[in-house]
Structure 1
């Protein structure tokens, strides 16, 4: 009886290689069955829009479990949803980025019930977030979600969904023929690997897409791997952290700007003035200056290439860690965090392929993905928080490190890093 009771609570970690599992084979099959719209369309039209999504205070903050539902008392800088619409006459797609910790699963559910009213399917809407740890919560139903984001507020989730749909409609209404270009810059001084301290095993690249309409209006979408966790965890103030300063500075030179979190797992911001708004301003201004400088040299071209795909991501049983060799039983994990669907997403705009993950995905994997994109004659941009969440994804060799990313927030076992990366590589190959 005791052994039976223990097995209901604690189980050994499963070390079966992913290639030998059903979940691996299922995801591979889903990718192989996916079909891209290869019909040549007309010149790509692009539109953009932003909508304020900030709940008035007091409302719960999201980002740290130790807050236990702490509410913000003031708004330092408002949160927005920023949306791009893409249409080549054959395919219509949207990129939606939220000034939130993640794209919450409950929000995803509400949106997916509404897409059909707009004539859309979920795979046409590419979701992501800035990953600021000082935006609003109220979107987690289970214990884990409430710890990270405060008490669930159905009204907040519904209002956020309405704002997202509003931004989609506005962006689509602004479609115009637009030139597209990819650029990148070096952001090494502003990021470091907090998991290992390595100066080389980190993603230091700022990646961005630049858009220019026939009337001269311009927009920039950029990503970076540094966690927006600069501000004090117990400060009751809503803020977009450094991504907010970055886009505000960009919009002093361009008509529209948006930010999406890149491969942020194990990567934190490198700042000089402590957990202060001065540090937020320093990094935001520095990154904006770098992006604007490099964007001036980006070659822009018209294109008709546009595709979007969403792949169901099959997963092993949860491996919520308990020491070096054991995990809590899956039932306990589901009770604490809930059981949600996960998927991979992709959006191809011209020669650039965006890959969306449901995770804090490590920048240490970016070299592999970029090498594959280079072989295909393409550029690659990775973003996180695409409407699901499966925890921190770190390289397999870091699994036994006694660190937060490898222990408390590694939810799916010792091979989740190599597994997810192999699936992303296969998804990327679809676009060649």
Structure 2
């Protein structure tokens, strides 16, 4: 009898603990319109206060460089899903940090691309401290990643980060940070006047909308966006963005360290189309690749090869001209409280989210190079938004390129009308609540307006 009384007390204690834990851990979704939230007012004020750099003092100069950051030892694989941080065993292809540095005498900017699944927030925080080593600050840098799901992991210390990228290893953060700084140094070592050209090639047949499994969806951005920089010597750099999700390696095929199709693509471009190529993942939120091939390696070769053919046909038609316009704006981004949903319309409270993910600042970036405006987002940003930007781009007579993974990471941002759909992109990976689609669009369009005043 005494044993039963003790057992009953223990069970009652457990029940009370669970009830208390649930009470302090979850809360209903806050669906207050974003325009009425303090974070909106604060970000809007920051946007208003941003100032453009002074006019160019010299012709635009550019240099470029890359650094191999492949670890000397096997690491966790950074790429979500079934990989779950398992170590890669086989080096399929090397991992790089790439940089293009631009300077017009009054403004200096580095465009950095990492052969990783995202730009790790831990690397961003390290760069903020160390960029003065190369004469820059975070406000001088536009970041992006190729989004390969079979690249280096080990760069995220919290529980969610370890599910994405495996066990944390501070040496990996240092390796990546050193690679970025050395790529910038290399680029600064070969600066020369350049002319600018832009082009596009349609590859809509190479992507599909993963959200379409849950109902009707809108069109994606199926364009390969190209920006070319050409020196008087004939050397050239090609900046390329595309919205195809680099997931041609199956989720259960985590044995290989690989750049997926973007790596194969830039290798070919550097042989046939440019002296140097840098790929940044575009509006990859909710896009899947339409692949062809019997094996992952065949799919990568075929996918990259077909994209390369379309680029190779486009590049000779690109006309370059001098243009010294250069400006980079960094907008610190306020956000709604974390809203990962767990059951129905109930979400995790902020303290628990930050405990298992971390609390990292996020920015929107806007870079103008000549008549091209690049918008960088801290997320998997949906290609369905691109259609909304086209009227503004036409009005301002600019070439618009939108990229993901600019240094922070807040999950997926997809159209608000899909918020209640039961899909991975709209529920599992929507971490900061409703209305982010409209909020991001308003702030990004505000940055375009600011850059083109």
TM-score range, shorter chain: over 0.9
Q: What is the SS of the residue equivalent to 1:229?
A: coil
- Which of the numbers 145, 156, 160 marks the counterpart of 2:161? 145
1:206 maps to what in 2? 224
Q: What is the SS of the residue equivalent to 1:304?
A: coil
Structure 2 residue 357 is the aligned partner of structure 1 residue 337? yes
Q: Please tell me the root mean square deviation across aligned C-alpha atoms, in Å.
A: 1.5
2:338 maps to what in 1? 318
2:139 maps to what in 1? 123
1:380 maps to what in 2? 400
Structure 2 residue 256 is the aligned partner of structure 1 residue 237? yes
| Per-residue deviation, 1:199 | 7.7
Q: What is the SS of the residue equivalent to 1:428?
A: helix
Structure 1 stretch displaced more, 325-334 or 79-88: 325-334
Q: What is the SS of the residue equivalent to 1:382?
A: strand
Determine the C-alpha separation between the residues in 1 that align with 2:339 and 2:197: 41
1:266 maps to what in 2? 286
Determine the C-alpha separation between the residues in 2 that align with 1:88 and 1:217: 19
- Which of the numbers 320, 326, 331 marks the counterpart of 1:306? 326
Determine the C-alpha separation between the residues in 1 that align with 2:307 and 2:264: 9
Rate the CA distance shift 1:383–1:296 in 2: closer, same or farther, 3 A. Answer: same
Determine the C-alpha separation between the residues in 1 that align with 2:93 and 2:19: 54
1:32 maps to what in 2? 48
> Which residues of 2 match residues 245-264 of structure 1 at below 5 A?
245-253=264-272, 254-264=274-284
Determine the C-alpha separation between the residues in 2 that align with 1:57 and 1:111: 23
Determine the C-alpha separation between the residues in 1 that align with 2:301 and 2:85: 27
1:170 maps to what in 2? 186
Determine the C-alpha separation between the residues in 1 that align with 2:99 and 2:425: 30
Q: What is the SS of the residue equivalent to 2:428?
A: coil
8 Å CA contact 2:144–2:406 kept in 1: the answer is yes
Q: Runs in 1 of length 4+ with deviation above 3 angstroms?
A: 1-7, 197-200
Task: Work out the number of aligned pairs and report it.
Answer: 432
Rate the CA distance shift 1:299–1:330 in 2: closer, same or farther, 3 A. Answer: same
Give CA-to-partner distance per residue, 1:262-311, whole Å, 9 cap, x none.
00000011102255110011110111111121111112111110011111
- Which of the numbers 228, 237, 248 marks the counterpart of 1:219? 237
Q: What is the SS of the residue equivalent to 2:301?
A: helix
Q: What is the SS of the residue equivalent to 2:397?
A: coil
Structure 1 stretch displaced more, 355-364 or 422-431: 422-431
> Which residues of 2 match residues 71-220 of structure 1 at below 5 A?
71-196=87-212, 200-220=218-238
| Per-residue deviation, 1:315 | 0.4
8 Å CA contact 1:370–1:379 kept in 2: the answer is no
| Per-residue deviation, 1:3 | 7.4
Determine the C-alpha separation between the residues in 1 that align with 2:170 and 2:75: 12
Structure 2 residue 301 is the aligned partner of structure 1 residue 277? no
Which ranges in structure 2 are unaligned for 5 or more consecutive residues?
1-15
8 Å CA contact 1:41–1:305 kept in 2: the answer is no
| Per-residue deviation, 1:65 | 4.2
Determine the C-alpha separation between the residues in 2 that align with 1:309 and 1:174: 25
| Per-residue deviation, 1:200 | 5.0
8 Å CA contact 2:56–2:105 kept in 1: the answer is no
Query: Scaled by the length of structure 1, what TM-score is found?
Result: 0.97
1:371 maps to what in 2? 391
Query: Scaled by the length of structure 2, what TM-score is found?
Result: 0.93
Structure of larger gyration radius: 2
Structure 1 stretch displaced more, 33-42 or 225-234: 33-42
Determine the C-alpha separation between the residues in 1 that align with 2:410 and 2:168: 20
Q: What is the SS of the residue equivalent to 1:59?
A: coil
8 Å CA contact 2:134–2:184 kept in 1: the answer is no
| Per-residue deviation, 1:234 | 2.6
Determine the C-alpha separation between the residues in 1 that align with 2:337 and 2:415: 19
Which ranges in structure 1 are unaligned for 5 or more consecutive residues?
none
Q: What is the SS of the residue equivalent to 2:366?
A: strand
Q: What is the SS of the residue equivalent to 2:76?
A: strand
Structure 1 stretch displaced more, 287-296 or 192-201: 192-201
1:14 maps to what in 2? 30
| Per-residue deviation, 1:68 | 2.8
| Per-residue deviation, 1:342 | 0.6
